[in-house]
């Protein structure tokens, strides 16, 4: 399940992933939030928190994650990923170097710093 987090500026799409994340979660929550933010902003920021109760992605969700990132490739300003899951942190660090935006990975214990960075002025 993807939960849309509240209390962020309109140029920040902030989500938390719980349990098993499906393609339907992307279709119903994440993609509409990104599209809405892009209606008002040339570039958007993403806060992507992998909650402690996260159990995995289905294949459709993995594809939608990749596709969403690529469709809006030049529209990302900053991306912060909060996770204690090593394979996710490693994948973000590897693929993050190919993105034209700033990408940072934070452990769950540093979630407050991630939220501060994602909302700070450039």
Q: Domain with 94 in it: what CATH number?
A: 3.30.750.24
Domain count, the chain: 1
> Residue 118 is encoded by which pair of tokens?
């994602």
Question: Rounded to an integer, what is the distance from CA 61 to the centroid of its chain?
Answer: 13
Residue 119 token pair: 């909302």
Question: Is the pLDDT assigned to residue 75 strictly greater than 90?
Answer: no
Under the banding of pLDDT at 50, 70 and 90, the label for residue 73 is low
Please say if the pLDDT value at position 62 is more than 90: no
Summarised one tens digit per residue, pLDDT across range 2-56 is 999 999 999 999 999 999 998 899 889 998 999 999 999 999 999 999 999 999 9
Check residue 108 and report its DSSP letter: G
Residue 71: which residues within 8 A CB-CB, separation 6 or more? none
pLDDT higher than 90, residue 77: yes
Longest dimension (CA), the chain: 36
Domain interval for residue 53: 2-119
């Amino acid at each position: 399940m993807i939960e849309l987090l509240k209390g962020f500026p309109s140029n920040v799409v902030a989500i938390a992933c719980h349990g098993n994340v499906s393609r339907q979660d992307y279709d119903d929550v994440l993609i509409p939030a990104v599209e809405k933010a892009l209606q008002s902003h040339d570039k958007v920021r993403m806060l992507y928190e992998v909650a402690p109760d996260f159990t995995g992605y289905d294949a459709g969700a993995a594809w939608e994650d990749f596709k969403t990132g690529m469709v809006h490739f030049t529209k990302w300003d900053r991306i912060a990923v909060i996770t204690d899951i090593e394979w996710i942190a490693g994948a973000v660090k590897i693929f993050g170097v190919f993105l034209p935006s700033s990408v940072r990975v934070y452990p769950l214990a540093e979630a407050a710093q991630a939220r501060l960075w994602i909302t700070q002025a450039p």
